Chain A
Amino acid sequence: MLKFNSRLWRVAGSLLLGVSWGLAFVARFMGFYDVSRLQKLEMFVVWGVLFGLLWYGLFGWVYQQRAAYAVRGLLLVAGCSGLALVWAGYLLNDPFVLESLPGGSPSAASSILRGLGMLAYSISLSSVVWLLLGSLRLGYRTLQATQLRLGELMRLAFPYLAICTAVILINLVLYRPAEQRDNYQLRRLANNTLEELIRRSPDTTPQLRVYLAYEELYPGATLVASQEGMAAAGLDPAELATKGSAREVVLSAEQFVFPASDLANLPASREIQLGEHDQRFIFIQPGEPSVDQVFLIQIGQRFYFVPRADLPGGENAP
């Protein structure tokens, strides 16, 4: 019979559990059904390898602690917590759990996949809990053994620890609520697009929104703002400067702002050769979003305002 501590057992077990847990995580947490095949494969490989490694380590740890004893405990905890997990998911209306249960809605294939994933997930999760409990017990024993040695050093280190603790508490209790009212508090973004980042960033909304659709149309465009251009667009550079939004403004005496009537002389936007160092683009949105949006386009030392509607994709696009 194969010994528990044999390398083959460890590798095979790790591979199996790594793959299944990787699959479970991909399915459960990473929108397995919403991403491309390549991304699925990538997620699967990363998670599979990672959890395979974790399991490999776990097997080693279990072996070092008395193997048979540990495995019995592992299976017991796994079974109980797996059931508890499914029950908790059911109570919490977790669609992942509900659809995996008999009578759920997904197709047979995904149901099997989810079922497998659930099993591996629950075993793995419970073993982590078990591992944690074991570590805590070990830690407690060690602490008991070293209490006297620690005491002396702790007494000496007290001023340092006390000052640090005070700083942590003040930061969390006193300063944190004040920061919540700050404009620059962290907000969760719904998607990972640049447009959303711009829209949700207090520094650029609503005074100065640089680069919206143009970079997508013409990758390689560089941004620069001109003080004159901002003033012409109804923005007050001095006001922006006090709010910290105008730091990127590049001042140049040679910049000219052309009225919209001169736009006839502007080459069609799509014909502009990008990648040249003297061509720059900027998008300025003055005021609230309801105000007409304009692009400020710089070619060489000249700046042009272009109504958004005239740009590619706009209502009046050529």
Chain B
Amino acid sequence: MSQIGLLFGIYIVGLLFGMLFVQRIAAAYLVSAAFLFGAVFFTLYSLLLLAFRLPYTMTALILFVAAGILILGLLNLIRGTFREITMENNIYPWLLGLAACVAVLIFARNNNLSIATSDSFAYILNGRTLAINGLNPQSAGWLSSFGVMLPVLQASSIALDESYLYALSPLLGITLLATSGVLIYQGAQQYTAQRYLARLIAVVSVLVLGSSNFVIFHTFYVHTNILEAAFLVNAVGGAWLGLAQKKRSWLALSLVAWMGFSLGRPEAPLVALLFLMLMISCNVFPWRIFLALFLPYLIVVSLWLVLLGYLIGSGSTFLTPMRIALFLLAYLGAAVMVLLGEVRWGQRLLSWYPWLLVGGLAFSLVLMFVTRPAHMLESSVSLLTNLFTLSGRWGAIWYGIAILSLLALRQRKLPNERIFAAGIPAFILLVLGLSYLRIPYHANWWDSANRMMLHVLPVWLVYLAVKFYPRWVERVQAAIRRVDRFNSKAGPGPDQVLD
């Protein structure tokens, strides 16, 4: 098996997992996010192998693909989901997804545009080391500072007898663009079934994302950023759709994406926690449902942190036993927070949570500025310089985001908007706050903060693209009512016009 075969196998496993939701979630989304689901399962499987010192060989990789296809295929058979996908109904997104996946893999194989920096080699080499030595205190220390998913995926290159996974980043890049587009389309469809404009908006928004040189660069750069961006937009977008449409399936898929996001980088569980608490604070589902959905995520991430804590002993650069304990405590807090929605004072507290979150982070940042003004000022100026000048390599994208964000202030409120409206500022404040613990950010594209902005950019774009919709639809409906009122001829009603 080559890496093309493995990545395709991971995609198929993700696809079969997605198929389980075909009755409730649009096939286009399941098809475009399939690689992310497969990658999460592959990471968990690999971690099990490495933790128990089982041989990480070609046989193990083939076993993953074969067992994944068999188990998920059987589950699909039992649930009768294959019957949903027939020639006359719903087959084309699946065929298109398969073809697109193969096309991207073949393109990457024939046009290896990979680019690497010292970080990239660290990810590749430590991944390869992991495949040989398994999880030990040294590798655990490193993983706790750099994240686990990319090294684990790169570790498979040893079993595949290849140098590194050059096709991984392109696949993630395309996944990011495709899922962002589908999420925008799905979000817009909540307000109107008018498909053409929703498609146009989705395509234009994806082109905005894809035209930025920094995004193109990351599609071939061996690093965690494109991976984290893909997982975050699916996690946040899926969560918002789940809450807005009151669909548990969206939430379940979102939590798989949160799992992948949390395993991607060391600071990611913290970001995930902020967003998860925002989800809980919306208080849409009864606590039993929330808890049942959250528990697998909480258990997996907590187990990983406990395993890291056990292996690294006194601690690593980023994680110490104390910090791990704090993380676990915060996760426990999130689980308890679910119960708050059941009591009146808890509901009030939950409604204040976005303000508490953003306010708390802003206040912390003010304190940081007071205690280390030069340090924090340098970080802030560097971040802004990177976003709005050539040094960050973004192009004009942040100017566009800034203008659209200003225009969005006049738009109608979206349901459960706090996930975006509080989540995005909280993310940025957190990124700035993290500089307090390290050397200041600097004005160069490879700066951590600049790269981390890639994580939140697709989320922001999805938010803005959907944000304008309610007012557009409202105006069109008003215009139609006016026409109906004054026109004696029978014209199409609002429902017909917007169908």
- Bound form: Cα–Cα A164–B102 in Å: 30
A209 to chain B, nearest CB (A): 9
A311 to chain B, nearest CB (A): 18
* CB atoms of B397 and A150 under 8 A apart: no
| Known contacts A161-B204, A198-B121: A170-B92 contact under CB 8 Å | no
Chain A residues positioned under 8 Å from B493 (CB to CB): none
B404 to chain A, nearest CB (A): 6
* CB atoms of A194 and B468 under 8 A apart: no
* CB atoms of A223 and B122 under 8 A apart: yes
* CB atoms of A223 and B472 under 8 A apart: no
Q: Does A248 contact B (CB under 8 A)?
A: yes
Q: Chain B: which residue is nearest A193 at the CB level?
A: B163
Interface residues of B in 158-175 (CB under 8 A from A): 158, 162-164, 166
Q: Does B189 contact A (CB under 8 A)?
A: no
* CB atoms of A57 and B133 under 8 A apart: no
Stretch at the interface among A78-86, A91-99, A178-186: A178-186
* CB atoms of B390 and A277 under 8 A apart: no
Chain B residues positioned under 8 Å from A171 (CB to CB): 208, 211-213, 395-397
* CB atoms of A167 and B208 under 8 A apart: yes
* CB atoms of B114 and A197 under 8 A apart: yes
**Chain A window 238-276, contacts with chain B (Cβ cutoff 8 Å), 1 for yes, 0 for no:** 000000110110000000000000000000000000010
B138 contacts which of A154, A176, A222 (Cβ < 8 Å)?
Answer: A222
B120 to chain A, nearest CB (A): 7
* CB atoms of B91 and A57 under 8 A apart: yes
Chain B residues positioned under 8 Å from A168 (CB to CB): 204, 207-208, 211
| Known contacts A60-B91, A170-B396: A165-B112 contact under CB 8 Å | no
How many of chain A's residues have a CB under 8 angstroms from any CB in B?
A: 76
Chain B residues positioned under 8 Å from A318 (CB to CB): none
Number of A-B residue pairs having CB atoms within 8 Å of each other in the complex: 208
A210 to chain B, nearest CB (A): 5
Chain B residues positioned under 8 Å from A178 (CB to CB): 390
Q: Does B476 contact A (CB under 8 A)?
A: yes
- Bound form: Cα–Cα A248–B116 in Å: 14
Interface residues of A in 48-63 (CB under 8 A from B): 50, 53-54, 56-57, 59-60, 63
- Bound form: Cα–Cα A143–B472 in Å: 20
Q: Chain A: which residue is nearest B496 at the CB level?
A: A149
* CB atoms of B128 and A163 under 8 A apart: no
* CB atoms of B116 and A198 under 8 A apart: yes
Q: Chain A: which residue is nearest B401 at the CB level?
A: A167
**Chain A window 82-114, contacts with chain B (Cβ cutoff 8 Å), 1 for yes, 0 for no:** 000000000000000000000000000000000
B447 to chain A, nearest CB (A): 9
* CB atoms of B472 and A153 under 8 A apart: yes
* CB atoms of B121 and A163 under 8 A apart: no
* CB atoms of B399 and A50 under 8 A apart: no
A21 to chain B, nearest CB (A): 12
| Known contacts A57-B87, A187-B113, A197-B163: A146-B196 contact under CB 8 Å | yes
* CB atoms of A152 and B163 under 8 A apart: no
Chain A residues positioned under 8 Å from B407 (CB to CB): 159-160, 163
* CB atoms of A163 and B213 under 8 A apart: no
Chain B residues positioned under 8 Å from A57 (CB to CB): 87, 91-92, 95
- Bound form: Cα–Cα A166–B446 in Å: 26
- Bound form: Cα–Cα A200–B393 in Å: 20
* CB atoms of B99 and A54 under 8 A apart: yes
- Bound form: Cα–Cα A168–B122 in Å: 34
Stretch at the interface among A213-221, A226-234, A285-293, A295-303: A213-221
A220 contacts which of B111, B129, B207 (Cβ < 8 Å)?
Answer: B129
B98 to chain A, nearest CB (A): 6
Chain B residues positioned under 8 Å from A160 (CB to CB): 201, 204, 404, 407, 464-465, 468
**Chain A window 127-166, contacts with chain B (Cβ cutoff 8 Å), 1 for yes, 0 for no:** 0000000000000000100100110111011011101111
Chain A residues positioned under 8 Å from B373 (CB to CB): none
Stretch at the interface among B1-9, B242-250, B363-371: B1-9
* CB atoms of B125 and A186 under 8 A apart: no
B400 contacts which of A47, A164, A277 (Cβ < 8 Å)?
Answer: A164
Chain A residues positioned under 8 Å from B465 (CB to CB): 160
Q: Does B200 contact A (CB under 8 A)?
A: yes
A53 contacts which of B98, B139, B201, B445 (Cβ < 8 Å)?
Answer: B98
* CB atoms of B400 and A275 under 8 A apart: no
Q: Does A189 contact B (CB under 8 A)?
A: yes
Q: Does A29 contact B (CB under 8 A)?
A: yes
* CB atoms of A277 and B137 under 8 A apart: yes
Chain B residues positioned under 8 Å from A153 (CB to CB): 194, 197, 472-473, 476
* CB atoms of B204 and A156 under 8 A apart: no
Q: Does B322 contact A (CB under 8 A)?
A: no
Chain A residues positioned under 8 Å from B4 (CB to CB): 46
* CB atoms of A210 and B200 under 8 A apart: no
* CB atoms of A50 and B99 under 8 A apart: yes
Chain B residues positioned under 8 Å from A174 (CB to CB): 395-396
* CB atoms of B102 and A192 under 8 A apart: no
Chain B residues positioned under 8 Å from A310 (CB to CB): none
A161 to chain B, nearest CB (A): 6
Q: Does A305 contact B (CB under 8 A)?
A: no
Chain A residues positioned under 8 Å from B109 (CB to CB): 192
Q: Does A284 contact B (CB under 8 A)?
A: no
B113 to chain A, nearest CB (A): 4
A29 contacts which of B110, B117, B200, B479 (Cβ < 8 Å)?
Answer: B110
Q: Does A175 contact B (CB under 8 A)?
A: yes
- Bound form: Cα–Cα A150–B197 in Å: 7
Chain B residues positioned under 8 Å from A170 (CB to CB): 395-396
Q: Does B303 contact A (CB under 8 A)?
A: no
| Known contacts A192-B162, A277-B136: A222-B197 contact under CB 8 Å | no
**Chain A window 193-214, contacts with chain B (Cβ cutoff 8 Å), 1 for yes, 0 for no:** 1110110110110001011000
- Bound form: Cα–Cα A171–B465 in Å: 19
| Known contacts A57-B92, A60-B87, A153-B472: A186-B102 contact under CB 8 Å | no
- Bound form: Cα–Cα A208–B124 in Å: 16
A164 to chain B, nearest CB (A): 5
Chain B residues positioned under 8 Å from A63 (CB to CB): 87
- Bound form: Cα–Cα A170–B216 in Å: 15
* CB atoms of B95 and A54 under 8 A apart: yes
Q: Does B403 contact A (CB under 8 A)?
A: yes
Most chain-B Cβ atoms within 10 A of its Cβ — which of A187, A191, A201, A278? A201
B119 contacts which of A152, A189, A247 (Cβ < 8 Å)?
Answer: A247
* CB atoms of B112 and A192 under 8 A apart: yes
Chain A residues positioned under 8 Å from B196 (CB to CB): 143, 146, 150
- Bound form: Cα–Cα A171–B133 in Å: 45
Q: Does B46 contact A (CB under 8 A)?
A: no
* CB atoms of A222 and B129 under 8 A apart: yes
Chain A residues positioned under 8 Å from B217 (CB to CB): 184, 186
Most chain-B Cβ atoms within 10 A of its Cβ — which of A53, A57, A153, A166? A153
A207 to chain B, nearest CB (A): 10
- Bound form: Cα–Cα A200–B117 in Å: 10
* 8 pairs of A and B residues whose beta carbons are closest in the complex: A60-B87, A277-B138, A167-B400, A203-B117, A171-B395, A220-B132, A194-B163, A171-B211
- Given A42-B5, A194-B164, A222-B129, 13 extra CB contacts under 8 A: A153-B197, A160-B204, A163-B400, A164-B207, A167-B211, A186-B216, A197-B164, A197-B222, A215-B125, A220-B129, A221-B125, A275-B133, A277-B138
9 A-B pairs with C-beta separation under 8 A: A50-B98, A50-B102, A153-B472, A164-B400, A168-B207, A171-B395, A184-B217, A203-B116, A222-B126
